[in-house]
A and B are shown apart, each in its own frame.
Chain A
Amino acid sequence: MTAANVEIDGAVRDATSLRAFLHGLPGVDEVGANARAAGLATRSIKKASKVWALETAIGMVDLTTLEGADTAGKIRGLCAKARRPEPSDPTCPPVAAVCIYPDLVAAAREHLAGSGVAVASVATAFPSGRASLSTKLADVRDAVAAGADEIDMVIDRGAFLSGHYQRVYDEIAAVRERCDPARLKVILETGELCTLDNVRRASWLALLAGGDFVKTSTGKVSPAATPPVALVMLQAVRDFAAATGDRRGVKLAGGIRSAKEAVRYLVMVKEVAGDAWLDPALFRFGASSLLNDLLMQRSKEATGVYSGADYVSID
């Protein structure tokens, strides 16, 4: 699919035009997408390029903890790690953001003051999204008031799958309006969308409604981020940028645990979206255990010795 055949003028005029636009998007060749994603994963990244990729990936991590058992103490530890992922090495870059529940935003804000690390908060009845719109908006307002720089919202997958695109659109637009000045990431929960066609439609829907990022998953559903899904979402932001001149981001979350996978995704970002997206402002990894593997691989490149899990913090 190229940008030439996406005409977005008038797409969001009403429910009918929105449906016509989303269903008029070219279908995804699933076999082709799988093959393309697999092909991009075969590239070998070594030595200096690998170090660059590892450090770039560290700078793109949204260090995440989304557990019912989270405490202010755990957030303090997480923030310390976000600022200085490798305490013994000041040349190691900080991560992009921490990603937490709204009630812990104030605590994180305090620990991250002056560090340049953003605070992202999930909101809108994360992870299911099954609450009334007013509850969701109140959730967003709380998070923004507490100082969140980024809001990760979930879409109503039930409405999307039953074809109520306008309802999903209105909800994203309403959240977009309330979350200013924070940036909005729209979680599509691709594991529940069943097909790559749906992933493409949901991505465009989120972009049209004003999402700054499209994000794969909550991390609570499997499968989460997979290479073909990432491919389709990267194509969507690329084509959206070509059609409107407006660059939006992609965040992959859930199931990315090894540095090797992260580097493969960076190759995909470069090849599918372009060099401009190799930037924490436009591409993120939502992860917790990934960061430790990135640090271990970075240490291997620096010392020439394989590292172990005893030498990175447990989170």
Chain B
Amino acid sequence: MRTDRRAERVDVRKTYKLYVGGAFPRSESGRSYPISTPRGRFLANAARGSRKDARDAVVAARKALAGWSGATAYNRGQVLYRVAEMLEGRRDQFVAEVVDSEGTTARRAESTVDAAIDRWVWYAGWTDKIAQVAGGTNPVAGPYFDFSIPEPTGVVAILAPQESSLLGLVSVVAPVIAGGNTSVVVASEDRPLPAISLAEVLATSDLPGGVVNLLTGATAEIAPWLASHMDIGGIDLCGASAGQRVELERLAAGTVKRVARAPESTPDWSADPGTGRLRRFLETKTVWHPIGI
């Protein structure tokens, strides 16, 4: 007699964790929340990060900054390209998760995942080229060499887009770390599954721990703590709710953070990204050097 093995097996119901400093800790608060498809089918539990998790993530990002911003641009490019390779290897999983999270068709999800991988490769290529485009040698009327060099802003907080769970996420995270910043990312609140898998990809690629720290949970709860945090240099408000944006900008002004404002309408993430997001979290340093010394 043939038995249906699938029917015998008990479901593995997952409870995911945060990604902080290269490790996967539970939320300090011990909280989690269920995530489901847009139609309400249960997918898994995600950790509901608290302000203290955000604080720990900032400490981890700060610790990783010297190593990551000090690595050569060429090396950063190699590491990011490796991430793209790893994404490619788990393409099917990401397609399934995008289908589950966003409720799109498999065909659409495939093109989204392909675009996300290509986006990662695109930014990997920019790491050692942005300095030539955004910086340069300035003509000055005096016996000096005058250079402008783009440098990373520092620790950048990113509120990932709420709708586009993978392509949108990659489009905001990759440019920030390509420029040499380290990041604290708050994943899409209702669709965190692709972000959690991306964290697993990052943990097993060559990216040093702490360069990307991923928190899941209520964006509105964590965002004010990041916006006001004095050890953060910039914040991307992409995934902030319309009602909270002004308050977050006000909090960010306390330490004159670089703020990337949330787009007015849902952006078309599949469009050519350009270098705008890459330049958003770079600071220009200009050096005057006397000629002949």
- Chain A residues close to B by CB (< 8 Å): 304-311
Output the least CB separation between A298 and chain B (Å). Answer: 13
Q: Which bucket holds chain B's interface residue count?
A: 10 to 19
Chain B residue contacts of A311, Cβ below 8 A: 230
Q: State in angstroms the CA–CA spacing of A271 and B190 once bound together.
A: 46
Q: State in angstroms the CA–CA spacing of A304 and B254 once bound together.
A: 12
Output the least CB separation between A245 and chain B (Å). Answer: 45
A-B contact count (CB 8 A): 24
Output the least CB separation between A23 and chain B (Å). Answer: 45
Chain B residue contacts of A307, Cβ below 8 A: 230-231
**Residues 54-76 of B contacting A (Cβ, < 8 Å):** 55, 58, 62
9 A-B contacts (beta carbon < 8 Å): A305-B229, A305-B230, A305-B254, A306-B228, A306-B229, A308-B232, A309-B62, A310-B230, A311-B230
Q: State in angstroms the CA–CA spacing of A287 and B254 once bound together.
A: 31
Chain B residue contacts of A306, Cβ below 8 A: 55, 58, 225, 228-231
Q: Which of A305, A309, A310 has the most CB of B within 10 A?
A: A305
Q: State in angstroms the CA–CA spacing of A310 and B256 once bound together.
A: 14
Output the least CB separation between A313 and chain B (Å). Answer: 15
Q: Which of B62, B230, B231 has the most CB of A within 10 A?
A: B230
Chain A residue contacts of B62, Cβ below 8 A: 308-309
Chain A residue contacts of B55, Cβ below 8 A: 306
- Chain B residues close to A by CB (< 8 Å): 55, 58, 62, 225, 228-232, 254
The 3 closest A-B pairs by CB, nearest first: A308-B231, A308-B230, A305-B228
Q: State in angstroms the CA–CA spacing of A308 and B65 once bound together.
A: 14
Chain A residue contacts of B254, Cβ below 8 A: 305
Output the least CB separation between A257 and chain B (Å). Answer: 12
Q: State in angstroms the CA–CA spacing of A248 and B117 once bound together.
A: 66
Q: Which residue of B lies closest to A309 (CB)?
A: B231
Output the least CB separation between B36 and chain A (Å). Answer: 33
Q: State in angstroms the CA–CA spacing of A304 and B232 once bound together.
A: 15
- Give 10 A-B pairs besides A306-B55, A308-B232 with Cβ atoms closer than 8 angstroms: A304-B228, A305-B228, A305-B230, A305-B254, A306-B225, A306-B228, A307-B230, A308-B229, A308-B231, A310-B230
Q: State in angstroms the CA–CA spacing of A309 and B230 once bound together.
A: 9
Chain A residue contacts of B232, Cβ below 8 A: 308
Chain B residue contacts of A304, Cβ below 8 A: 228
Chain A residue contacts of B230, Cβ below 8 A: 305-308, 310-311
Q: State in angstroms the CA–CA spacing of A306 and B228 once bound together.
A: 7
Q: State in angstroms the CA–CA spacing of A306 and B184 once bound together.
A: 15
Q: State in angstroms the CA–CA spacing of A307 and B230 once bound together.
A: 5
Output the least CB separation between B85 and chain A (Å). Answer: 35
Output the least CB separation between B221 and chain A (Å). Answer: 15
Q: State in angstroms the CA–CA spacing of A307 and B228 once bound together.
A: 9
Output the least CB separation between A42 and chain B (Å). Answer: 14
Q: State in angstroms the CA–CA spacing of A305 and B231 once bound together.
A: 10
Chain B residue contacts of A305, Cβ below 8 A: 228-230, 254
Chain B residue contacts of A310, Cβ below 8 A: 230-231
Chain B residue contacts of A308, Cβ below 8 A: 62, 229-232
Chain A residue contacts of B228, Cβ below 8 A: 304-306
Chain A residue contacts of B231, Cβ below 8 A: 306-310
Output the least CB separation between A176 and chain B (Å). Answer: 43
Output the least CB separation between A16 and chain B (Å). Answer: 54
Q: State in angstroms the CA–CA spacing of A22 and B239 once bound together.
A: 66
Output the least CB separation between A300 and chain B (Å). Answer: 9
Chain A residue contacts of B225, Cβ below 8 A: 306
Output the least CB separation between A309 and chain B (Å). Answer: 7
Output the least CB separation between B271 and chain A (Å). Answer: 36
Q: State in angstroms the CA–CA spacing of A45 and B108 once bound together.
A: 52
Output the least CB separation between A151 and chain B (Å). Answer: 37
Q: State in angstroms the CA–CA spacing of A304 and B230 once bound together.
A: 11
Q: Which residue of A lies closest to B227 (CB)?
A: A305
Q: Which residue of A lies closest to B155 (CB)?
A: A308
Q: State in angstroms the CA–CA spacing of A208 and B228 once bound together.
A: 53
Output the least CB separation between A306 and chain B (Å). Answer: 4
Output the least CB separation between A50 and chain B (Å). Answer: 14
Q: Which residue of B lies closest to A307 (CB)?
A: B230
Q: State in angstroms the CA–CA spacing of A309 and B62 once bound together.
A: 10
Q: Which residue of A lies closest to B229 (CB)?
A: A306
Output the least CB separation between A287 and chain B (Å). Answer: 19
Q: Which of A306, A307, A309, A311 has the most CB of B within 10 A?
A: A306
Output the least CB separation between A232 and chain B (Å). Answer: 31
